[in-house]
Amino acid sequence: MLKNNIQKALLGGFIGTIVFTIMGQLIAPHIIGFPMNVGKMIAGMIHSPENVGIMIHFVMGTILFPISYLLIGYDRISGPGWLKGLIYLIPIYLVAMLVVVPMAGKGLFFHSLPAAMIALMGHLVYGAIMGSIIGTPKNSQNEVISQN
């Protein structure tokens, strides 16, 4: 069961990261006038080439966040998988806006409500995708069925 959950978590994280990245490249320019490139931002923080930043972005989205979700949020957050993933990503978004983005020299919440909202949308979509693919613990589904 754990192996299956880890596989689903990695798949959900990878697909979520791809969608998150595409949203930053394709949707953000229409709303804020420029693409949001997380890989480039990370690369700038660590003084590395952009491809290193992209790799770190994908490792975080494919491995770190989904595995931490399995360990911390999977059994503790109630609701359907998509909602559990969405809720789990809210504190991650806040850490990004309050710590990571300022460390990258972009200020709190990018100093821009539209940019912060694009980032929020990306994190929520990522969380919903990840949570949907991982699903809900079997005992939680049984509890919901037995309550009806």
Q: Please tell me the predicted confidence (pLDDT) of residue 139.
A: 54
Cβ atoms of 82 and 128 closer than 8 Å: yes
* Closest C-alpha to 53, from 100, 116, 115, 120: 100
137 band by pLDDT with thresholds 50, 70 and 90: confident
- What band does 25 get if pLDDT is binned at 50, 70 and 90? very high
pTM: 0.87
Please give the pLDDT value at position 28.
Answer: 94
How far apart are alpha carbons 115 and 131 in whole angstroms?
24
What are the tens digits of pLDDT across the range 36-56? 999 999 999 999 999 999 999
Q: Is the sign of the CA dihedral 144, 8, 76, 89 positive or negative?
A: negative
pLDDT digits (tens, 9 = 90+) for 87-96: 999 999 999 9
